[in-house]
Structure 1
Amino acid sequence: MSSILTNDSARIALATLQGINGSIADTQREIATGRRVASAGDNAAVWAISKTMEADVVGYRRISDSLALGDATLSVARRGAETITDLLTDMKGRVVSAQGENVDRAKIQSGIAALRDQIGAVVETAQFNGMNLLKNTGTDAGTGSAAVLGFLQRGENGVTGVDIAISKRDLGTGTHSISASGGTYSADAATATLDATRSVTLDASSITIEAGMAFSLSLYGTDADNSSFDQDTLRTTAGASETQAEMAGSEIAYVARDGDTAHSVLTALARRYDSYAARNGIDAGTLSMTASGSGLALTSSVTDGSDSITVSLNTLGADAGNTIGGGLALLDDLDVSTGTGAVDALGRIESLLTIATDAAAGFGSDQNRLQTQAAFNDRLSDSMRAGIGTLVDADLEESSARLQALQVQQQLATQALSIANSAPQSLLGLFR
């Protein structure tokens, strides 16, 4: 039915034109912003997801800065450890020279002292932004490692940062000190006796290690006629059990640092025993010890049913106020001015080289770990940005083609509206 009051054709044409104009506006906005979802009004769910992922990408950029800082700190520490290894290698050459009889040991000792001072200087200066990984003498828990923010972990309760722990590896030359009184002292915390059974293990698994806690090994050999070994050299204590005062002056002692395990402590004590044995002419056949896990493997080829050697592990709590020494503390009294000292120094320098090379290798391994994590984070960030783009970015080729089609539709809709608006005019002809 035709009417001059209501023009349904025009109304429909106008609605069509308005819809096309709205689509053109949306398409032009996509082209202008480059985004298909630019606000929560476009698609609330997709917009929320994209914003969460964008926040994670920003977080990973900050993590990259943290990893770069950690990598630089490790690089300085690694180079410091490598330099110390080179200095110890030079020192070993001098120690070997001191083994001869017709050499000037005083001059060799002077050169060794200079190298020792240089090692101390390297340890003091090998820091980056205030962090020195070659020093670890603090007694507070956690001071034995540095935390580097490595990655983000999203769970049900939100996002948490996950740290990568970098262990400090002390290469200082300072000596430890053990209090002669006070604190919680425990003699014979663990013991083992070599007799007819010539191979035993001293088990230290039940002992809790804490920073600042002192440990010592005491020897008590029984061979009254010295038929199997020299009883005096195999006795480091006056009685069967070591006193705290004797522990304070013991040559086979160690003060634990933060991060030490039972194996770390026993390894350090075994090294100090090797030095003690070299100075006192105790060969490996008489008594040798090797750290294995949380135990100390003891062997002897001379003990029997009547001639025995008891090895005891003694402890003194951190509450005694002990002082932690450096990882290369055995350098402090390295002295090749005598033949006995030269022999002792040769045994020590090997274990010190092992400590330094292990530290350098450990820093290198940690540095590779951070670099691997950084590379993974970069790839992860790229993937997340690509995912965000898939969700919210506009396909400009598609949008451009759609805009051209909508512009054609707009022209047609405009013509249709014009035709629809002219329809009532044709009704006037009926009244002429």
Structure 2
Amino acid sequence: MSSILTNNGATAALQTLKNINKQMGSVQNQISTGKRVNSAKDNAAVWAISKAMESDVAGFKKVSESLSLGQATISVARQGAETVTDLLTQVKEKIVASQEENVDRAKIQTDIEALRDQISAVVDASQFNGQYMLKNTSTDANSGGINVLASIDRSFDGVTSSDIRVRKQDLGTGAASVSASGGTFSASEATATLNGTQTATVDLSGVTVEAGKAFSVQIFGTDADDSSFTQADYRNSAAAAITQGEAAATDITYVARDGDTAADVASALANAYATYAADNGLDTNDFNMTASGSGLTVTSGVTTATDTIAVAVASIGADAGNTIGGRLEALSSIDVSTQAGADSALAAIDGLIDTAIDSAAAFGSAEMRLETQSEFVSGLTDALKSGIGTLVDADMEETSARLQALQVQQQLGIQAMSIANSAPQSLLGLFR
């Protein structure tokens, strides 16, 4: 049936042309934006995923900046520690030279003092943007290191950040001080006794370590007739229980810094004893102390069942007002102007060099880790960008071909529309 009121052909052609024009609009939008999914109405699920990933990419850019800043800071610290190591090596050369009696020890001492001042200058100059990594004498919590933003982690519970903690490595030469009164005092945090067994361990693993807390080693030998060892040489307290004043006065002390562990305390006390033994001419066969993990290994080749040496680690709490010293504090007491001083300095310098070497190595490891993380974050960012592109970017080859096809369809649709609109004219022939 033909009708002059309803043109079904024109209606169908119009709907087809509208659909073609709509598709052309979508294709042209993809060409102009380069995206297949440009807004939530294009594909809500894919758009939501892409936006979340884009926020992660923006976050990782900031992570990269943080890692770059961290690398620069640690690089300066490492170079400073390496320079200190070289300067300490020069100090050792001077100390070795002073062992010869026919030398001018006073001039050598002047050179050593100049090198010591240079070490202090290097420590003071080794900072980046005001961040010092070769100084750690503050009792403030978490002041013993820096956190470098390393990553952002997305999970079902949300987004969290993760840091790389880099500890400060103090190489200062400032002196520590231990309060002789006040605060919390414990005469025996950990103990051990050498007897016929001649070896024991002072276990510090259960000791609480906090910034500003002082630790002191008490040695109390018992050999009334001095048959095995000279009793007075191995006593730094008047009685079996050391007093706070005696603990503060002994040279075998260490004031903990922020971030220290029991192992750090053990190592520091062992180094302090090595210097103490050298200064006092003590025989390491009679008594020796070395660090072993979070404890002190004490040995003797002369103790017996009755001739014993008791060892205790005393502590004076941070509330006593102790002062944290530099880890190279012993450098200030080196004096080679006498033979005894030269001998003592030779015993002490290797421990100081080891401290500087360990510090430089620690910074080197941290710097390498930051560099590795930076490379990972850079690669991850590129992968995320590629993933976002896969989700939302338009395939330009396909889009171009699609546009040409739609242009042909549009022309045909227009022709079909024209033919459909002219169809009612044929009805005029029926009325002639």
Band the TM-score falls in, shorter-chain normalisation: over 0.9
Q: CA deviation at 1:225?
A: 2.1
Give the Cα separation in 2 of the matches to 1:337 and 1:265: 31
Give the Cα separation in 2 of the matches to 1:19 and 1:87: 81
In the alignment, does 2:398 pair up with 1:398?
Answer: yes
Q: 1:179 maps to what in 2?
A: 179
Q: 1:152 maps to what in 2?
A: 152
AA paired with 2:419? Answer: I
AA paired with 1:332? Answer: S
Q: 1:15 maps to what in 2?
A: 15
AA paired with 1:63? Answer: V
Q: CA deviation at 1:306?
A: 2.0
Q: 1:378 maps to what in 2?
A: 378
Q: Matched residue of 2:219: which SS?
A: strand
Give the Cα separation in 2 of the matches to 1:101 and 1:235: 32
CA RMSD of aligned residues (A): 0.9
Q: Matched residue of 2:309: which SS?
A: strand
Q: 1:409 maps to what in 2?
A: 409
Q: 1:303 maps to what in 2?
A: 303
Q: Matched residue of 1:233: which SS?
A: helix
Q: CA deviation at 1:116?
A: 0.6
Give the Cα separation in 2 of the matches to 1:276 and 1:346: 13
In the alignment, does 2:424 pair up with 1:424?
Answer: yes
1:273-422 correspondence to structure 2 within 5 Å: 273-422=273-422
Give the Cα separation in 2 of the matches to 1:388 and 1:370: 27
Give the Cα separation in 1 of the matches to 2:92 and 2:353: 9
Q: 2:101 maps to what in 1?
A: 101
Can you list the C-alpha shifts for 1:333-364, whole angstroms capped at 9, x where unaligned?
11111111111111111010000001001101
In the alignment, does 2:83 pair up with 1:64?
Answer: no
Q: 2:188 maps to what in 1?
A: 188
Give the Cα separation in 1 of the matches to 2:303 and 2:248: 29
Give the Cα separation in 2 of the matches to 1:210 and 1:13: 85
Q: 2:27 maps to what in 1?
A: 27
Q: 2:200 maps to what in 1?
A: 200
In the alignment, does 2:65 pair up with 1:41?
Answer: no
Give the Cα separation in 2 of the matches to 1:23 and 1:189: 82
Q: CA deviation at 1:189?
A: 2.0
Give the Cα separation in 2 of the matches to 1:108 and 1:403: 88
AA paired with 1:275? Answer: T
Give the Cα separation in 2 of the matches to 1:185 and 1:17: 93
Give the Cα separation in 1 of the matches to 2:306 and 2:279: 26
- Bigger drift between 299-308 and 85-94 goes to 299-308
Can you list the C-alpha shifts for 1:91-112, whole angstroms capped at 9, x where unaligned?
0000001111111111111111
Give the Cα separation in 2 of the matches to 1:415 and 1:206: 92
Q: CA deviation at 1:195?
A: 1.1
**Matched residues, number:** 432
Q: 2:228 maps to what in 1?
A: 228
Q: TM-score, normalised by structure 2?
A: 0.99
Q: CA deviation at 1:222?
A: 1.3
Q: 2:4 maps to what in 1?
A: 4
1:72-91 correspondence to structure 2 within 5 Å: 72-91=72-91
Give the Cα separation in 2 of the matches to 1:256 and 1:199: 26
- Bigger drift between 359-368 and 278-287 goes to 278-287
Can you list the C-alpha shifts for 1:19-62, whole angstroms capped at 9, x where unaligned?
00110111001000001111111111111111111111011111
Q: 1:240 maps to what in 2?
A: 240
Give the Cα separation in 1 of the matches to 2:155 and 2:390: 23
Q: CA deviation at 1:262?
A: 0.8
AA paired with 1:354? Answer: D
In the alignment, does 2:119 pair up with 1:113?
Answer: no
Give the Cα separation in 2 of the matches to 1:101 and 1:229: 31
Q: 1:267 maps to what in 2?
A: 267
Q: CA deviation at 1:242?
A: 1.4
Can you list the C-alpha shifts for 1:294-349, whole angstroms capped at 9, x where unaligned?
22111111111221111110001110010000011111111111111111111111
Q: Matched residue of 1:413: which SS?
A: helix
* Percentage of identical aligned residues: 60
Q: 1:162 maps to what in 2?
A: 162
Q: 1:256 maps to what in 2?
A: 256
Q: Matched residue of 1:187: which SS?
A: strand
Q: Give unmatched runs, 5+ long, in structure 2.
A: none
Give the Cα separation in 2 of the matches to 1:228 and 1:94: 37
Q: Give unmatched runs, 5+ long, in structure 1.
A: none
Give the Cα separation in 2 of the matches to 1:23 and 1:379: 37
Can you list the C-alpha shifts for 1:266-315, whole angstroms capped at 9, x where unaligned?
11001110111111121221111111122211111111122111111000
Give the Cα separation in 1 of the matches to 2:233 and 2:164: 47
Can you list the C-alpha shifts for 1:68-119, whole angstroms capped at 9, x where unaligned?
1100000100000000000000000000011111111111111111111110
Q: Matched residue of 1:221: which SS?
A: strand
Q: Matched residue of 2:93: which SS?
A: helix
Give the Cα separation in 1 of the matches to 2:355 and 2:189: 27
Give the Cα separation in 2 of the matches to 1:244 and 1:127: 37
In the alignment, does 2:140 pair up with 1:140?
Answer: yes
Q: TM-score, normalised by structure 1?
A: 0.99
Q: Matched residue of 2:147: which SS?
A: strand
Q: CA deviation at 1:160?
A: 1.6
